[in-house]
């Protein structure tokens, strides 16, 4: 074999192995992995130029089940298996269920998933079913489904893998580690969608851990963005009937409310609301740079544009926008929100040429 530089690709061992010293992993913890983490930090050339800043997308859609949830789920399911659990259960707007179903399948456990009937994107439902989970569609919203899960856990021998499971947030810290590993420092601002408010809390914990260990010398301002129709933290009270087309953050009673508020206060950041129109605009803008994220992910970029308009963003600052999930999770929204429709023609060169000439 030649020297190392001849072998650019180094296999990634997964998060439990890569960040073992930062996680509650013991010799008894199963070596569970689907090669989660190690996701790309993609420079946004256009936003960097437009905002006079260094703007990056942390593309969490590259995770095994297509969302950031895999970071916490691999640890939560491994710890459930370590504890001898046979069944994991969660309520979910879709991404959590896909992830729970995949890691349960990998670990040989059963997964039971509660989803709000009619409000889960098609790709996510397809995943949970293919991975072999038992799916219960509850005639209610996410918050009601989560309340049921918590009650069931007191009655039945099941392990809850919603973010009330502390291993979830422990695992999700690793995204902050990766950003620091890639940049050699923490960014100035971390822009992130806020639904159940767990992820912003986990990132902050991760940045603080690296900072306390002296690995980075700075900390980011945590900038969280809720959908306007589900903006419980911004309003300061739960939203009983949350509404937004960005289903992944259609949550009116965020479980990690206090942690999120603390992260924002300690970091001199903020929680703001972005409208569905702002999310839609950002959703397309990201795709036109070649990155396809699900609608909720675009809340981070919609929020960045607000920060810029309000003068919060300073020239030359480094910003990471977290794109939480893959656009393929929600093909219906993509097709519905595209500006253009396919043009149908007969199968002849002349017919297609005529169609093309209007664009060329």
Q: Which residues are annotated as a binding site for pyridoxal 5'-phosphate?
A: 95, 195-199, 324
Residues numbered 84 to 113 that lie near a copy of itself (CB under 8 A) are 87, 102-103, 105-106, 110, 112
Helix axes 95-107, 69-82, angle to 10 degrees: 40
| Among the listed residues 30, 48, 122, 238, the single contact to a copy of itself using CB under 8 A | 122
Q: Is 264 in the site for a copy of itself (CB under 8 A)?
A: no
83 in contact with a copy of itself (CB under 8 A): no
Among 92, 127, 162, 163, binds a copy of itself (CB under 8 A): 127
Pairwise CA distance, residues 310 & 319, whole Å: 15
Q: Which of 106, 132, 202 is nearest to 163 (CA)?
A: 202
Residues in binding site? 95, 195-199, 324
For the bound state, the minimum distance from the C-beta of residue 24 to a copy of itself, rounded and expressed in Å, comes to 17
- What is the residue-wise DSSP string for 172-198? HTHHHHHHHHHHSS--SEEEEE-SSSH
Asked if 134 is part of the footprint of a copy of itself (rule: CB under 8 A), the reply reads: yes
Is beta strand 159-160 parallel, antiparallel or unpaired with respect to 189-193?
unpaired
Residue 48 lies near a copy of itself (rule: CB under 8 A): no
Site for a copy of itself (CB under 8 A): which residue of 38, 48, 54, 275?
38
Bridge partners for 63 per DSSP: none
Choice from 23, 47, 59, 271 touching a copy of itself (CB under 8 A) = 59
Backbone angles phi, psi at 82, to 5 degrees: -60, -35
CB within 8 A of 213, min separation 6: which ones? none
**What's the rounded Cα separation, in Å, for the pair 171 and 123?**
24
Q: Does 208 engage in binding with a copy of itself (CB under 8 A)?
A: no
Selected range binding a copy of itself among 140-148, 195-203, 273-281, 310-318, rule: CB under 8 A: 140-148
Positions 323 through 342 that interact with a copy of itself (CB under 8 A): 326-329, 331-332, 334-335, 337-338, 340-342
Total residues at interface with a copy of itself (CB under 8 A): 100
Burial class of residue 54 (count of CB atoms within 10 Å of its CB; 0-12, 13-18, 19+): middle
Window 222-261: contact mask with a copy of itself (x via CB under 8 A): ----------------------------------------
Spatial neighbors of 210 by CB under 8 A, at least 6 apart, are: 176, 177, 180, 186, 216
Token digits of residue 354: 């005529």
Q: 145: helix, coil or strand?
A: helix
Does 288 participate in binding a copy of itself (rule CB under 8 A)?
Answer: yes
Which one, 138 or 312, has the nearer CB to a copy of itself? Answer: 138
């Amino acid at each position: 074999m030649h020297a190392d530089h001849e072998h650019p690709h180094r296999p990634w061992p997964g998060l439990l192995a890569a960040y073992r010293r930062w996680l509650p992993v013991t010799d008894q913890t199963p070596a569970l992995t689907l090669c989660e983490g190690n996701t790309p930090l993609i420079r946004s050339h256009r936003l960097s130029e437009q905002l006079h800043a260094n703007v990056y997308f942390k593309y969490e859609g590259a995770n095994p089940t297509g969302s950031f949830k895999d970071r916490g789920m691999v640890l939560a399911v491994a710890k459930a298996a370590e504890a001898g659990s046979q069944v994991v259960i969660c309520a979910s707007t879709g991404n959590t269920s896909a992830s729970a179903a995949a890691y349960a399948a990998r670990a040989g456990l059963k997964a039971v998933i509660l989803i709000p009937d009619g409000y889960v994107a098609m790709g996510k439902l397809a995943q949970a079913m293919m991975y072999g989970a038992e799916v219960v569609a509850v005639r209610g919203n996410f918050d009601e489904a989560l309340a049921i899960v918590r009650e069931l856990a007191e009655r039945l021998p099941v392990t809850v893998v919603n973010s009330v499971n502390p291993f979830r947030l422990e695992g999700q810290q690793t995204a902050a580690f990766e950003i620091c590993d890639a940049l050699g420092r923490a960014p100035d601002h971390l822009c992130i969608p806020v639904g159940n408010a767990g992820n912003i809390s986990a990132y902050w914990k991760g940045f603080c851990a690296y900072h306390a260990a002296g690995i980075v010398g700075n900390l980011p301002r945590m900038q969280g963005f809720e959908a306007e129709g589900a903006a419980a933290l911004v309003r300061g009270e739960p939203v009983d009937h949350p509404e937004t087309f960005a289903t992944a953050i259609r949550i009116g009673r965020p479980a990690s409310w206090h942690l999120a508020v603390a992260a924002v206060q300690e970091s001199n950041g903020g929680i703001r609301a972005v409208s569905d129109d702002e999310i839609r605009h950002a959703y397309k803008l990201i795709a036109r740079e070649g990155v396809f994220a699900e609608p909720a992910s675009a809340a981070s970029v919609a929020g960045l544009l607000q920060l810029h308009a309000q003068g919060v963003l300073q020239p030359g600052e480094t910003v990471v926008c977290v794109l939480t999930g893959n656009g393929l999770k929600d093909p219906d929204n993509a097709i519905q929100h595209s500006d253009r429709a396919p043009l149908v023609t007969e199968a002849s060169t002349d017919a297609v040429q005529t169609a093309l000439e209007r664009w060329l």
